[in-house]
Amino acid sequence: MNKMIFLTTLVLGTGISISAQSWMGLWMGLEMNLLSIVPLMNSSKNMLASECSLKYFFTQAIASTVLIYSLIILSLKNNMNSWILTPPLPIIMDISLFMKMGAAPLHFWFPEVMEGLSWMNALVMMTWQKIAPLMALFNVPKPPFLIQATIIMSILIGGLMGINQTSMRKILAYSSITHLGWMISTLSLNLSLTLNYFMIYSLISLNLIMILKTLNLFHIQQLFTINNNLMKISFLSNFLSMGGVPPFLGFLPKWMVLNSLAKNHLNLSLMMVVLTLVTLYFYTRCIIPFLTLETSETKYNWKKMPNFLMWWMNWFNILALILCTVWFNLT
């Protein structure tokens, strides 16, 4: 019952932020969202979850303080109900929103918080918790130098820091930072492109985390225990899709972003492609167990997840790219 109440206020807080008609309304929605997610993170009642919820609360509180500070300056200079911002307010607000999302170089809290979460809370942190800050960032004037620096650092740091990780939660955390860099690059282009990228990323993350949660996998070494071919194919297709490798679904949003960016920001798009190759290295590390003949005895019950669900996850990543391509061509 308590979880349902907090989930309701979590959704309500995000909805208030998205539909707010003033900066103060947006800030109130973000705070409702924060006060709802912290109890959910701490629901597993272990020391690591408690530590991570405190880390998350303090970092978000700092970001909220910076945001409310900029709103106070706005109220003194103009009107808090006005959406018009004058320098240096856009830079201050952008920095606070980057910190709330976990974009580089203000990403320091995100992998550490992810490491202590359950898989479902990790999914919420990777997807739902980015909606309100992204929509807020869309309404804030974005200095080109700040946005481009954040995009490049997010993709670069997400790739480099993920290379030596053995924890699946940290690998997905740094992968999320990389994808966040791609999503930020779309904000100055088209909001619908941002939403398309976010929805596809969320679907792929859901598929991948369902597999990891069902098998109770948390480290790369545990991947060698998988000796079920259907499970191997499912994990392989979803992870390659997360990396944006064709012909899987994850290739589509990156192709759409590059297609839009190349028209006016060719240098930036080239840098994004080159830096993303770094992330493919640690994606490759995760799929190596499926490309070798090594397997060890597994203690997992493969009947936990129905076969039809496994087939759905496999074919979803392959056929969805074709269907989405046809759909976008028709529309």
State pLDDT tens for residues 289-309. 666 645 554 444 444 555 556
Q: Are 144 and 264 in contact (CB under 8 A)?
A: no
Maximum mean pLDDT: which of 105-119, 206-220, 301-315? 105-119
Q: How far is CA 218 from the centre of its chain?
A: 18
Mean pLDDT value across residues 36-45: 83
Higher pLDDT, 153 or 90: 153
What's residue 82's pLDDT?
A: 57
* 67-81, 209-223, 265-279: segment of lowest average pLDDT: 67-81
What's residue 70's pLDDT?
A: 86
> Which residues face 219 on adjacent strands?
167
The model's pLDDT over 116-154, given as tens digits with 9 standing for 90+, comes to 898 999 999 999 999 999 998 988 888 888 999 999 999
> Which residues face 167 on adjacent strands?
219
| Domain boundaries of the chain, sorted by first residue | 1-103, 142-331
DSSP state, residue 281: H
The fraction of the chain above a pLDDT of 70, given in percent, is 83
Rounded CA gap, 156 and 178, in Å?
7
The model's pLDDT over 255-281, given as tens digits with 9 standing for 90+, comes to 889 988 888 888 899 999 998 888 888
Mean pLDDT value across residues 185-208: 89
Q: Residue 51 above 60 pLDDT?
A: yes
* 14-18, 150-154, 176-180, 215-219: segment of lowest average pLDDT: 215-219
Q: Which of 204, 209, 52, 35 is nearest to 117 (CA)?
A: 52
Phi, psi of 219, deg, nearest 5? -135, 155
Question: pTM for this structure?
Answer: 0.89
Mean pLDDT value across residues 27-49: 86
SS3 201: helix
Q: Residue 181 above 60 pLDDT?
A: yes
The mean pLDDT value of the chain amounts to 83
Maximum pairwise Cα distance, the chain: 67
SS3 11: helix
What's residue 300's pLDDT?
A: 47
Q: Are 201 and 157 in contact (CB under 8 A)?
A: no
Rounded CA gap, 97 and 141, in Å?
12
SS3 219: strand
288 pLDDT tier (thresholds 50, 70, 90) = confident
